[in-house]
Structures are given as structure tokens and as C-alpha cells.
Structure 1
Amino acid sequence: MTTIDQKENAEAQLNEERLIELYMEYVLEKEEEPGTVYKFTRLNKISETDFYNFFGSFDGLKKRIWERFFELTLELMEKSKEFSSFNNREKMLTLYYTFFEMLTANRSYVLFTLKNESSLAKNVRQLSGLRRELKNFTAALVRTQNEEKQSRLLKNSETVFSEAAWVQMMFLLKFWLDDNSPQFESTDVAIEKSVNTVFDLFENSPLERVVDLGKFLWKEKMS
């Protein structure tokens, strides 16, 4: 029999992270999403009210998972003593390398949740929080860089750069999903080449990197 103390202890341990963990375990073990919040909470011996204290729906939970992937990526990056001394190009490379290491650690879930959706619109919805977080991060990088520049003509657009970063993220995510190379080495190469291309575009010397990236993508497509 569950005592009052045990029940209170279980409720105290229930939090956003635990609900995310339970949800991811469910879809990986059953290879399907829960049909209803009622069935999901009953299976995990928690109340619907406890679930709704953290999320309004499974859609909200799925969106939060992607935000947490990004937040945990930033936490790992900021633990590095060297990160604060990196230039923007190095910070973006570190961001993508770390983020895709995070996704690789959760690859089975990512493959399921992205390929399980019936439409692109649903994927866009669950990735909307990730999009906001990435754009905020990249806009902050440009803002800091612009503050250091004397001439207005040398300053870059936060909006253009952050939108380019999101397009880049979607390209890399698709590339990683289809990557069959050992340890996803091809994705690492794609990250390096695409980040260098974007920064070279902003630095007005794009030709060499664009050609280099184009050759790489053509080779990967034909192999």
C-alpha cells in the first residue's frame, strides 16, 4: 500500500523533465504517440492535473523537448572555459557540433517524431520553439559584434543572419537524418562547410566556400 509520505514524495519528484522522460520512453517503447493524456497519465500513475500543471497538450510537450535540446546544448557550451573567447564563427561551429551530438544521443526519438508526422506543418509547429531559441542566440551574436564596429556600413543585419541560421539548421537537420556515414562524419563536414559559407557570405568573400560546399553536397548526393 502506498503511504501518504510515498505519494507526496512521488508528486514532489514529478516535474517537466520527468514528464519529458516518460513521454520519450513511451513513444520509443510502443513506437506510437499516446492516444490521450488520460491513458498516458494513468499508465504512469500520475493524475491528468499533474500533467496539465506543466503542459497543455502533447504538442506543447513535444515543442518543449526541442527547446530543451537547445538549452542543454547552450549549457554544455558555456561550461567550456574557452567558449567566451571564441569569435562568432567558432561559436556557431561549436553550437552545431554540440547540438547534433545532443540529437545523436536521442536519435531514435528524433527519427520517430520527425518522420511520424503526417505533414511538414506539424513538424514546423513542434520546431517553432527551437527556431525562436536559435534566432535569439544568433541575433545576440550579431548584436554584440555590431556594437564593436564603428562604421554603420560594416554592421550586419540581425534579422538576415538569424534567418540564415535557421535555414542552415533545417538543411543540417535533413542532412543528419539521411546521414549513414560512421559516427555521422559527413554531417560534421557539412556543418563546417555550411558555417564557413554563411560567414564568408557576410564577409563578402563567398565564392571559394560556395563552390567547395556545392562540390561536397553533389558528391554526397551521388554517393
Structure 2
Amino acid sequence: METLEKIRKAYTEYVLENGKQPTSVFQFAKKLKIAEADFYKEYTSFDAIEADIWLTFFTEAKTTVEADETAQSYSVREKLLAFYYTWIELLKGQRSFAVYSYGRLREASKGQGARGMGRQQSQVFKPFKEAFYDYARDLLAEGRESKEVEPRPFITDRYPDALWGQTLYLLDFWIRDVSKNFEKTDTAIEKAVNTSFDLIGRSPLDTLFDFAKFMYQNK
């Protein structure tokens, strides 16, 4: 087993058994029978391990969907739906860790109020967030080409933020979901994605705006 995988496995088992992070890298490495320096070759901290795990959930879901030949013919809306369903399925396989990590980060961010994520949560989710933003921008660009996404002045650049907020909402919903086989999460995914694409797609207001613009230019 590679050192990185060994560290991740041992860390996951430790936090699930103890409900908290190890007290020190030195003690953790000693119990794992590796040099402390070998730990730092892979990770700079315990939070870095969690950040890597959350990023892996994302990259595996994205890779799985993109490897599906059927998904290549999906609309952008359907691709995002497929990603979320796949992502949640992967999270189910390590739900205990996801619940622990998300709960710990949420507890650490209490008191942040309107400022949103606490610093610790922000750092742990940072690699995941950055990778998701790249993915969202690619999807949105594809959506503009297929006319599924309507470019709007001053708003278009905020679309990735909205999709990231949607992702955090769905994660929180799934963490709290107690329905059988998380059926309510499936419904939440469908409704959230359909609503977001209804909002960022072309609407009667866009048609009205175009008509008003035409009238103004030709008066």
C-alpha cells in the first residue's frame, strides 16, 4: 500500500473511531510506523488529508460521468444532474466520514454569521471548490453554445457562484436526510438543478428585453 493511501486510510479510521483528529502528526506517524517526514511528503496537515478526500469525491464523480458514452449526448442540465447523482452515490460509500468531516467543519465555522464559511471549512473545501468552479465554467460555456444558458450582463460571471452554492446546499441536505435510501436527496437534486437552469436559461423576460432593445435602436 502506498504511503499516501496508507495515511488516508489510517486517518479515516482514527477520526471515525475517536470522533476527532489525532493530537499530533508525530504520534499519528509513530502509530502508523512511518517517519514523520514521510507524512509531510504527502500532506502538510490533517486538514490537508480531509481536503484531499473531498477533492477525490468530486474528481471520481466527474470522471465517472465523463467516461459514460451515453452521457456525452446529454444536455448540460442532464450532465449536471448525472454528476450530482454520481457524487452522492460515492459519498454514500463513505457517509460516516462525510458526516464527521462536514459536521466538524460546520461546528468550527459557527459564529461566522453572514461571512459564510469559517476559515477552516474554507481551506478544507478549497481544492474541491476550485475544481468544481473549473467544471462549472466548462459546463456553462457548453450551455451558452447550446443555448441552454443565457448570457446576461453583470450576472453571467456569477453563475459559477450560484452552482457552488447549490452544491453546498445539496451536500447539507444529504447530510441531514433521513429518508429511505436518501430518496428526498434525489428529489432535491432534481428540483435544484431544474430550477437553476430555468433561471439561467432563456426566459420570456429575455425576449422582452431583446424586443425593447430593438425598439430603442430603431426608433
Counterpart position of 1:192:
190
Q: Give the fraction of aligned pairs with identical amino acids, expressed as a percent.
A: 34
- The count of corresponding residues between Structure 1 and Structure 2 is 191
Structure-2 residue corresponding to 1:219: none
Question: Residue 172 of structure 1 contacts residue 190 of structure 1 at CA under 8 Å; is this kept in 2?
Answer: yes
Provide the C-alpha distance between the structure 1 equivalents of 2:24 and 2:128, rounded to a whole number of angstroms.
25
Range that drifts further, 174-183 or 115-124: 115-124
Query: Closer, same or farther in 2 for the Cα pair 1:205/1:186, shift >3 Å?
Result: farther
Which stretch of the first structure deviates more once superposed, 153-162 or 25-34?
153-162
Distance in 2 (CA, whole Å) between partners of 1:205 and 1:146 is 14
Matched, 1:14 2:12: no
Assess if the C-alpha contact under 8 Å between 1:139 and 1:158 holds in 2. no
CA positional deviation for 1:31:
2.3
Over 3 Å counting, the alpha-carbon distance change for 1:175 and 1:148 in structure 2 is closer
1:70: Cα distance to partner? Answer: 0.5
CA offsets per residue over residues 80-105 of structure 1, 9 Å max, x none? 11111111000100111111111111
**Counterpart selection for 1:142 from 137, 140, 143:** 140
- Identify the residue that residue 168 of structure 1 maps to in structure 2: 166
Residue segments in structure 1 that go unaligned for 5+ positions in a row: 1-12, 207-223
- SS state at 2:44 partner: coil
Maintained 8 Å contact 2:150/2:201: no
1:138/1:158 contact within 8 Å kept: no
- Is residue 150–residue 200 contact of structure 2 (8 Å, CA) maintained in 1? no
96, 108, 113: which one aligns with 2:84: 96
How far the C-alpha of 1:154 sits from its partner, in A, is 4.6
For residues 61-87 of structure 1, what are the alpha-carbon distances to aligned partners after superposition, in whole Å with 9 as ceiling and x for unaligned?
Answer: 111111111011112212211111111
Q: CA deviation at 1:28?
A: 1.3
- Map of 1:1-223 to 2, 5 A cutoff? 13-117=1-105, 118-120=107-109, 121=118, 122-147=120-145, 154-155=150-151, 159-205=157-203
SS of residue in 2 equivalent to 1:127 = helix
Cα 1:87–1:159 shift into 2, 3 Å: same
Q: TM-score, normalised by structure 1?
A: 0.79
- In the alignment, the residues of structure 1 paired with residue 75 and residue 18 of structure 2 have an alpha-carbon distance, to the nearest angstrom, of 44
Structure 1 stretches of at least 4 aligned residues deviating more than 6 Å after TM superposition: none
Q: Which sections of structure 2, spanning at least 5 residues, go unmatched?
A: 110-117, 205-219
Provide the rounded CA distance (Å) in 1 between the counterparts of 2:146 and 2:168: 30
Q: Secondary structure at the match of 2:42?
A: coil
Q: CA–CA distance in 2 between the matches of 1:41 and 1:166?
A: 35
Could you say which structure has the greater relative contact order, defined with CA pairs below 8 angstroms and 6 or more residues apart? 2
SS at 1:42's partner residue?
A: helix
TM value normalised by structure 2: 0.80
Q: Distance in 2 between matches of 1:88 and 1:21?
A: 35
Instruction: Quote the RMSD (CA, aligned, Å).
Output: 2.0
Conserved? CA contact 1:41–1:48, under 8 Å: yes
For structure 1, which segment, 52-61 or 120-129, has the greater mean C-alpha deviation from structure 2 after superposition?
120-129
Q: Residues of 2 paired with 1:116 and 1:155: CA distance?
A: 38
